[in-house]
Amino acid sequence: MADDTAPRHDFGPLEKQALDHIWIHSARWLDLAERDGLRVLVRGEGSTLWDARGKAYLDGLAGLYLVNVGHGRREIGEAMAEQAAQLAYSSSASYTNLAAVKLADVLAGLTPGDLNRFFLCSGGSEAIESALKIAKQVQAMRGFPRRYKIIARRGGYHGATMGAMSITSSRNEKFFGPFMYGVSFVPSPNRYRNDFGIDGEAGDLACADAVEQEILAQGPDTVAAVVGEPVSTANNCHVPSPAYWQRVREICDKHGVLLILDEVINGFGRTGTMFATEQFGVVPDLMTMAKGLSSGYAPIAAVAVSERLYDEFKKQDVALAHLLTFGGQAVSCAAALKNIEILEREELPQRSARQGRYLLGKLEALRAHPTVGDVRGLGLMCAVELVTDKATKEPFGWGLAAAAHPFSRRVTELMEERGLLTRVFMAVHLSPPLVITTEEIDRMVAIVDESLTVAEKELGFS
């Protein structure tokens, strides 16, 4: 039986050893060293994780927004073992394998419109790199070699590799600049702090119009693509009106610009439908997917490409100058196939919509906190935005910097002590596995509530 009351930082040799050789992603040394060890997770079941000390946690973030079918799915492991025993790998360049063929076929049945061609790869950043290259090559093949520019949205996140980082507005200029040439950023829909000071759908549409203004400012014959997440997690889950994406789609079509929608987090039920684009009534030219494609059981990602775009490659008989060794890796494809089978069999996208509505309803009560400025979300992708002052909407820091504020850090620590793992940036992010039960949602919200109360009292915000 798990001991849910184990004291915090009860670290032993294993947790101390964890600091010796692993390079923890995106973490400062002192933050890790201060704790004198790193929590080591050893087991998962549904929405619960256990660490090496036997302490149980609710997985409030489904790992990193991806364990959609929940932890401990033995049948995915069995499908992977079977595939590995049969054939683990076939060249991504010259041949393919049975699992990849089946996966592409299943995906074609799920993706909207004519997104029927799949470039398989290993992670979200790779999918984005691939989408950018496909978009640029298509524009050049159409006779527009000067169309190389990319318009992205402020606050969005598209990954950590060079191209993906270049189209992410929080990119670190000091360490990694100069970035890919020709990227510019436009405001993102935000009903809480709209860049134009306009409320509601009109504010979203002002953001859509900003896309057109940027295309015109750059020169339409120089722009390859517009890229964005249907609902941006990095930008703390602001849900735009469908009219926003529909207008962006019209603008792209008007100016011969391709639309890349990044469903790396949104896809596979996270927002209450298999893909978020379904709820916005648009079909992009390219759609990236990763994370929930295998629910984290294996590294796999894909770019769904419209038949019209692939036709250009067919007609001109030109290869996409892009090869990734692990594209269509058979064991990963087998994991994705089984994962999708579970998502459909258990109707998890629908469950996400249902449980998401319940979660959001419960979160409404948190507005009573002096530090809670807003709550919002779509499906099981929710955010509780934290502010130092409700009247001014002053955040604890902008973007990622908010995570370093003592208040955010204390809330994170208090939640962990009480058995909830999640992240706090400008908002407390709640994106649990789609199998989360109503009782677990109640417990998760109670922990957030309690942790905020304690931190507010301790740090003088009550």
Closest to 75 (Cα-Cα) out of 348, 342, 294: 342
120 touches ligand PLP (CB under 6 A): no
Which C-beta is closer to ligand PLP: that of 241 or that of 294?
A: 294
15 touches ligand PLP (CB under 6 A): no
Binders of ligand PLP among 223-242, rule CB under 6 A? 229, 233
Closest to 151 (Cα-Cα) out of 195, 213, 108: 213
Which C-beta is closer to ligand PLP: that of 159 or that of 328?
A: 159
- Window of 29-37, 48-56, 257-265, 424-432 that interacts with ligand PLP by CB under 6 A: 257-265
**Count of residues interacting with ligand PLP (CB under 6 A):** 13
Q: CA-CA distance, 165 to 159, in Å (whole number)?
A: 6
Q: Which of 115, 225, 287, 290 binds ligand PLP (CB under 6 A)?
A: 290
In angstroms, what is the minimal distance from the CB of 265 to ligand PLP? 4
157 touches ligand PLP (CB under 6 A): yes
Q: What angle do CA 268, 274, 279 make, to 5 degrees?
A: 130
End-to-end CA distance of the chain: 37
- Window of 93-101, 259-267, 349-357, 405-413 that interacts with ligand PLP by CB under 6 A: 259-267
Closest to 454 (Cα-Cα) out of 425, 413, 426: 413
Which C-beta is closer to ligand PLP: that of 11 or that of 244?
A: 244
The tokens of 349 are what?
A: 């996208």
In angstroms, what is the minimal distance from the CB of 183 to ligand PLP? 15
60 touches ligand PLP (CB under 6 A): no
The tokens of 435 are what?
A: 């199998």
Q: CA-CA distance, 51 to 426, in Å (whole number)?
A: 27
| Beta pairing, strands 382-389 & 427-430 | antiparallel
In angstroms, what is the minimal distance from the CB of 162 to ligand PLP? 12
Print the SS3 string covering 331-355.
HHHHHHHHHHHHHHHCCHHHHHHHH
In angstroms, what is the minimal distance from the CB of 124 to ligand PLP? 2
Q: Determine how many CB atoms are found less than 10 A away from the CB of residue 218.
A: 16
335 touches ligand PLP (CB under 6 A): no
Distance (Å) of CA 98 to CA 104, 298, 330: 10, 17, 8
Which C-beta is closer to ligand PLP: that of 282 or that of 445?
A: 282
- Window of 157-165, 202-210, 250-258, 410-418 that interacts with ligand PLP by CB under 6 A: 157-165
Secondary structure of residue 59 in the 3-state scheme: strand
124 touches ligand PLP (CB under 6 A): yes
In angstroms, what is the minimal distance from the CB of 326 to ligand PLP? 13
Q: CA-CA distance, 126 to 158, in Å (whole number)?
A: 10
293 touches ligand PLP (CB under 6 A): no
425 close to 399: Cβ distance less than 8 angstroms: yes
159 touches ligand PLP (CB under 6 A): yes
The tokens of 15 are what?
A: 């947790």
In angstroms, what is the minimal distance from the CB of 138 to ligand PLP? 21
Q: Which of 53, 149, 154, 158 binds ligand PLP (CB under 6 A)?
A: 158
DSSP readout, 397-426? SSGGGGGGSHHHHHHHHHHHHTTEE-EESS
Which C-beta is closer to ligand PLP: that of 127 or that of 386?
A: 127
In angstroms, what is the minimal distance from the CB of 349 to ligand PLP? 18
Q: CA-CA distance, 135 to 140, in Å (whole number)?
A: 9
The closest residue (CB) to ligand PLP is 124
In angstroms, what is the minimal distance from the CB of 227 to ligand PLP? 10
User: Where do contacts with ligand PLP occur on this chain (CB under 6 A)?
Assistant: 123-125, 128, 157-159, 229, 233, 262, 264-265, 290
